[in-house]
Structure formats: C-alpha cells, structure tokens
Structure 1
C-alpha cells in the first residue's frame, strides 16, 4: 500500500491560492458635492474637487458668487473634506427622499448630493433630500450639509446672514 502525502499536496495547493502583497482599496481621486435649493434662502451650488487640489465651483442661487469659478485647495483641505464626508459614504449608490426614507419626511428642505470618484474608475453617490429624517443622516445633517466649510470657498458661498441679499437667478 502506497501512502500519498496528502497533507503536503494540500499545503502546496492552498499556497497557490494565497495572494502575496497587500490588497489596496481604491483611493478617492475626485469628489463632487452639491447643495440644492430649499423653500427659502438656502445656498444652491455644486463643486468638484480633485485630489490634486484643483476645484470648480458653480454657484446658482443664494450664494455670493454665481457662475463658474476655479479654486485651489491644499492637500490638507482635500483630506479634511474627504474625511468629513467619509462616514456618509454608502456601500453602494443610494438616494433618500420622499419615496425612499426610513423616517418621517418634512417639506421645504434642501438636498445634498455627494459623488466619490475612485482611482479604479468607479463612483459611489449619495443623494439625500434633507427633509427625509433618515436614521444616521438626519441627526448629523450639519456635518454633511456644511462639509464645504473645509474648503477655501467661503467667499464664493457667502455668509448665512447675507443669504437673503444674494439674488436668485
């Protein structure tokens, strides 16, 4: 009777399945961020910021500067912006609003839209109508709604106390 060294063969077989080196997650190359109008004087703008620090701001209504403006952010500002938004990134793209909300829904609120664009070419999007009292979002609404404050665009957005004087389009 021949003994087959099965343990050794199995170890070699399993070794062929093991990947060496680290598996890295794709990195965020660009973030698109928008706050959209409410029934009132909420700022209405969108921006896109690359990891390189190059950004484009597009002011619509109730902002100090309307139209398209370029801006630059430091690496620290991009990192702060990315990290402030990170807890809100869903596993897959999702939209919360009147038709998809796990809480009560109020009217006349603004919306936030964030898209994370990764180095592997994929993107993940969060659309949130802030009148949706979505658990995990509603109780931290200012953290996401005001995430733009991590960036050097306050002169473009303007101060809250001046919002009513910024004319809509």
Structure 2
C-alpha cells in the first residue's frame, strides 16, 4: 500500500515539473556603443544600453568616473538613440567597416577616435558598424553628427568629462 501511495505521489508531482523554455525573441535591440582612443585627450569608453533603459558605462581613459557605472535612460531617450543610429545599422549578421583603406574612406585625417556600434537582438546575429572618426568623406557627415550626439542623448556627458587638472582614468 505504501509503495502505491509513493508511486501516486510521484506521478502527481511530475505534473508540476517545468522544462526550461528558450527566452522569447527580444522586441528591441541592445545597443553597444564604444568610443576608442585618439592621439589626445578624447574620452575612451563603451556603453551598453538595454531596451528596458538600463545602461552601463565602462570607462577606459579621459572620463570622470573611476569604473563601471550603471545608469538608466527613459524610453524616449532609448528611442532617440535607436532612431538616431538606425540609418547606419547594417543588415542582420553583418559588419560594416568605414576606415582608411576601405573604398568608402578616401579622405582621412590621422589620430582620430574609432567608434564601434553593435546592435544585438535575440535570436538574431549581431549587426556591427566600425567607423574611424577621421573619415571625412561627405557621405559620412550624418554619421559623424549622429555619433557626436550619443553622450548627450544618453545624458552621460558629465561622466565623460574629467575634472579640471586631471587626465581621467588610465589603463
């Protein structure tokens, strides 16, 4: 009788078991924006912005924050960032490179920052844009302007400006 009760109990409990289901596809992109070093005092950092508004700043050099810094953006800020960068987003699973030596960069200045923007949406493969800020070809004017607005769009300008008389974090 006892064995029958245990078997019945196990059968009843097995109906409560759950299986891990894959995460549902994301409805918006996680955007990673990175500004690389230049031959001067340009802020070097990366930020990751999630569609829910959570963000993380990873400073590298010439910033005012000493380490990883979490922040949030409003839904409107996320949409403005997404919409500002959208015209430059390559197709899913591809990487676009705009740099000296590439056909799209014939007029280039030296010692400028490089930028990387990665759009990630589960389950798609990432989209990536690598842009050398010294590419001054006329067709990149809108891209340079969009990149310049990112800190303001996210409200992180103060995190990127070292205090007077300092050089920011060095690594």
Give the TM bin, normalised by the shorter chain: 0.7 to 0.9
CA distance in 1, matches of 2:168, 2:147: 25
Gaps of 5+ in 1: 1-25
Q: How many residues align?
A: 142
Q: Does the 8 A contact of 1:111 with 1:128 survive in 2? A: yes
Contiguous gaps of at least 5 residues in structure 2: 1-25
Which residue of 2 is the match for residue 97 of structure 1?
A: 99
| Greater fraction of residues in strand | 1
Correspondences of 1:1-169 after superposition (within 5 Å): 27-91=27-91, 92-102=94-104, 103-138=106-141, 140-158=143-161, 165-169=166-170
Following superposition, the deviation at residue 163 of structure 1 comes to: 7.4
Shift of 1:135: 4.5
**Which segment is superposed worse, 115-124 or 49-58?**
115-124
Q: CA deviation at 1:28?
A: 3.0
Change (3 A) 1:104 1:61: same
Give the deviation of 1:140 after TM superposition: 4.2
1:62-89 CA distance string (max 9 Å, x none)? 1111321111111111111111111121
The C-alpha deviation readout for 1:30-63, integer Å capped at 9, x for no partner, is: 0000111111111101000100111110111111
Residues 39 and 168 (structure 1), Cα distance of their counterparts in 2 relative to 1, 3 Å cut: farther
